Chains A and B, each alone.
Chain A
Amino acid sequence: MFDIFSYPFMIRAFLVAFMIALCAPCIGLPIVLKRFSAIGDATSHSALSGIAFGLLFGINPIVGAVIFSVVAVLSIEKLRKVFGAYQEIATVVIMSAGIGLTAVLSAFIKNGAANINSFMFGSIVAISDFELWLSLALSAAVMIVTLLLYKENFAIAFDEEDAALCGMPVKLINFIIMLLTAIVVSVASRIVGALMISSLLVIPVATAMLVSKSYKQTMIISIIASELITLLGLYISFYLNLRPGGTIVLLGVVILVATAVLGKKK
């Protein structure tokens, strides 16, 4: 049952997965409550183009993903102002640009399809020492910042106008959350897959919202759900020889549906 841990690559995979599962709902909760879930998709598609860029020019793909997804969130912020009341257009434009760039760049990469594929849907075996430490450091940084901004995230998600009236630097905090989203998406692209990570930002939070009776409880339950989904999904994918990203996301959907059917909040 535990022979899975006799493989060093699986220990790495579990370590990174544990940290991603910790971070994803912390970022996902304010994003979902602000009805901005699509940012995960836009960032992940941009991260994918960064990965393609990295593979093409010999830069570490996760570093490429971080750079491109940070540029993506900066661009979304700029474009949102252009479109005024139709701000969601900005997200779709950046998502389209990301996937278009990925398609073009991947054609020039040696074994492009196989390489990009492993980042799209996640892979357990390929985590290098550098990626392990980069992932752990970035995840730890994301956790610390989101814990420090706990009360600010709540206030802004509940009522941005009131938060501003209290003297809160709303724009700065929103920007920090978007940057952290870019980092989490990039780090998670290795194991969960760039196309899967936005599900990990949303599904545990959605599951928690079905049963929780406070914001704090929603945060705690979403972290527990996220860890359960990710670690169990990784475990199952190893023994059944399935793709980890897909297994994690499908397990998440099953738990969400089961909670919706069985759980009663009020």
Chain B
Amino acid sequence: MKNEVINVANLTFEYPDISVLKNVNFNLYQGDFLGIIGANGAGKSTLIKLILGLLSPDCGDITLFGGTLNDARTKIGYVSQKANSFNSDFPATVKEVVRANLFHEKGLFKPYRKSDDKKVIDALSLVGMAEYKDKLIGSLSGGQQQRVFIARALVGNPQLLLMDEPTVGIDAKSAREIMNIIKKLNQNGMTIIMTNHDTPTLVEASNKLLIFCEHGYEEFVTTSDLSIDRIADILAGKRVHQHV
């Protein structure tokens, strides 16, 4: 039997005057790929932030690996839309950027060792960027930078990878390459939670979907026999009752 990775129960969150998430429930097991679909402001990124502990829910619970977020922090990797937002003039090599995420293994004050460099190279190899380790991060293309940020999330060997629009602002070819990398990680047993505006690609990659609609309700459905037209219906407000 597969291990439960995340259990979200009755999760509710609202910003001042705006209710974003109401009674969200789902659970994922090892190897699941959850795609989160919805319009801008529907609550996709808010859900990711709640799981990461960057926001606190108004009510409801999130259980990770059977415990709290603090117990599970080392098992979680996170990739945001960094390639679009980070300071490209920052004087750092690819290796330095990836290595920085080893903090939870190192702890305060402890310097890096040679063995840490091997972990960095291994993570970069997973995304095909090992040969760029000594390049300045700002000198890479958007697609290459996002691959580096995926390696940064992978360097601590996480079991759950959260990705918030990882291919936004990246050319189509790079986006395809990044999706292939993510699918491969998933096939190797990593649990993935991803938001993405490219609905067909996300539906094809994921085995579960969470769809946030305009009218404030959510559908958690399996992706088998779910067509893009049907997803469009759900997004438009026509309910489809196929909870799992």
Contact = CB atoms under 8 A, between A and B. Distances in A.
Interface of A: 33, 148-152, 154-155, 157-159, 161-163, 165-169, 208-209, 212-218, 265-266
Interface of B: 52-54, 73, 78, 80, 82, 86, 89-93, 96-97, 99-101, 103-104, 106, 108-109, 111-112, 134, 136, 139, 152
B136 A213 contact: yes
B104 A214 contact: no
B157 to A, nearest CB: 14
Contact of B139 (A148, A158, A161, A266): A266
A215 B93 contact: yes
A176 to B, nearest CB: 11
Given A148-B109, A159-B82, A167 B92 contact: no
Contacts of A168: 103
Contacts, number: 75
Given A165-B78, A216-B96, A266 B136 contact: yes
B122 to A, nearest CB: 18
Which 9 pairs show the lowest CB-CB distances between chains A and B? A166-B103, A155-B100, A214-B93, A218-B91, A148-B109, A215-B92, A167-B104, A215-B96, A166-B104
Nearest to B53: A165
Contacts of A166: 73, 100-101, 103-104
Contacts of B104: 166-167
Given A158-B100, A159-B82, A159-B86, 5 more contacts: A209-B91, A213-B93, A213-B136, A214-B136, A266-B136
Nearest to A32: B91
Given A151-B106, A159-B86, A215-B91, A165 B52 contact: yes
Nearest to B78: A165
Given A166-B103, A214-B136, A266-B139, A151 B91 contact: no
Contact of B73 (A167, A208, A266): A167
B119 to A, nearest CB: 14
A159 B96 CA distance: 12
Contacts of A33: 90-91
A266 B73 CA distance: 37
Contacts of B106: 151
Nearest to A218: B91
A154 B136 contact: no
Contacts of A152: 103, 108
Contacts of A165: 52-54, 73, 78
Contacts of A218: 91
Contacts of A148: 109
A33 B97 CA distance: 14
A31 B90 CA distance: 13
A163 B106 CA distance: 13
Contacts of B86: 158-159
20 contacts: A151-B103, A154-B92, A159-B82, A159-B86, A162-B152, A165-B52, A165-B53, A165-B54, A165-B73, A166-B73, A169-B108, A209-B89, A213-B91, A213-B93, A214-B91, A214-B93, A214-B96, A215-B93, A215-B96, A218-B91
